[in-house]
Amino acid sequence: MSKQALLTPYSKNISLKNRVVMAPMTRSRADNKAHVATDELQGLYYEQRASAGLIITEGSQVSEKAVGYIHTPGIYSEEQVEGWKKVTKRVHDKGGKIFIQLWHVGRISHPNFHNGELPLSASAINPNAQSFTPEGFKDTVTPKEMTIEDIKTTVKDFQNAAVNAIKAGFDGVEIHSSNGYLFHQFFTGCSNTRTDEYGGTIENKTRFFFEVLDAMKAVIPQEKIGVRFNPSLNGMFGITVDKQTIPTFEYIIKKLNDYNLAYVHLSEPFTDVSEVPFAVTEIAKHFRPLYNGTLMINTNFDQAKGNKVIEDGDADLVAYGKPFISNPDLVERFENNLELTAWNQDTFYTTGVEGYTDYPKASKKAV
């Protein structure tokens, strides 16, 4: 019997022992005041999952202005760098590889996080979503449209975060340009009505993202940079698909062929978009022919679907989210065809070890 596609090694700009990737997932376990990842929580959590070919951490804000959720870690202070050093060491000591996801939530935030100041976005348009604040979920507000100086500052923030990530021992970084957060807000007409060089045309709406990418590759190797997109996100985080959406992402993906990145990470639709005009229902199949580098895919994959998408040539790597929460030994379970433990959604964003580091590994008995 041939080895499962998911469990074969991969080597193209990034060398991995298998193709099972732990997807980035906000878990709200960091120190809430200093936004520091801790050895006893994040360190153990990621160490437990080090058999993954690659771990991508939860989103980690690149500055204080990037924050939009409680108990999320950052990568902009020395204290945060020191905290992450302990985490990366634990993963490396177990033979794992780990990237950090660099994050700016933009308008999916609240003045409570910014001393009363408005969060930033492409344009002053309220996403009509909610932000997870220290006082519970609160409705979002109309954000401040970023000035050119705000954009330049944020470019520098991402560049500094990339440098800090390497200092902290990460094998690379992933730019979170997905799921309705800051870069996604620039990409789409529902959140970007600018008339300057960052709005209007597809080239203009993607300019900010490529400025960040160029700034980062000036300070760390391109092979240590991954990027994430959600081309058919609709009806969540204030994002709606329109006739320019897919052409915009096609432009981005094609242009990324000019770079030498670790990977491009795409999400299949989070919701049913079969009746949504202009949406693409099969992301991997649509974008695979457009990109020559390493393509990672996620959203609702199980073991069989993960093997198939690789065997069909539609993706090189598969990222798993919720299954990794409740199955720290997900790779070993795939190897031995073991049943998966169900996750407890009630503990996804709580504090402490419950539902975080207390899921047991399986006994090695095939089912």
Q: Is 237 exposed, middle or buried (0-12, 13-18, 19+ CB in 10 A)?
A: buried
String of DSSP letters for 292-356: -S-EEEESS--HHHHHHHHHTTS-SEEEESHHHHH-TTHHHHHHHTPPPPPP-GGGSS-SSSTTT
Q: In this prediction, what percent of the chain has a pLDDT beyond 70?
A: 98
Q: Are strands 10-11 and 15-16 parallel, antiparallel or unpaired?
A: antiparallel
Q: Which fold has domain 10-347?
A: TIM Barrel (3.20.20)
Q: What are phi and psi of 239, to 5 degrees?
A: -105, 135
The answer on pLDDT for 135 being more than 90 is: no
Q: Which residues contact 174 (CB under 8 A, 6 or more apart)?
A: 24, 56, 99, 100, 101, 102, 225, 226, 227, 228, 265
The answer on pLDDT for 1 being more than 60 is: no
Q: Which of these is catalytic: 181, 198, 320, 359?
A: 181
Q: Residue 147 — very low, low, confident or very high, per pLDDT cuts 50/70/90?
A: very high
The answer on pLDDT for 107 being more than 80 is: yes
Query: What pLDDT does 226 receive?
Result: 98
- Per-residue pLDDT tens digits for 199-251: 999 999 999 999 999 999 999 999 999 999 999 999 999 999 999 999 999 99
Query: What pLDDT does 365 receive?
Result: 55
Q: For this structure, is 181 an active site residue?
A: yes
- Per-residue pLDDT tens digits for 305-352: 999 999 999 999 999 999 999 999 999 999 999 999 999 999 999 989
d(CA 200, CA 196): 8
Q: Are strands 317-320 and 295-298 parallel, antiparallel or unpaired?
A: parallel
The pair of three-digit structure tokens given for residue 266, joined into one six-digit string: 């795409």
The answer on pLDDT for 355 being more than 60 is: yes
Query: What pLDDT does 72 receive?
Result: 96
Average pLDDT estimate for 26-30? 95
Query: What pLDDT does 31 receive?
Result: 85
Smallest Cα–Cα separation from 98: which of 57, 126, 141, 144?
57
pTM value surpassing 0.75: yes
Query: What pLDDT does 366 receive?
Result: 47
Residues 266 and 231 sit within 8 Å (Cβ to Cβ): yes
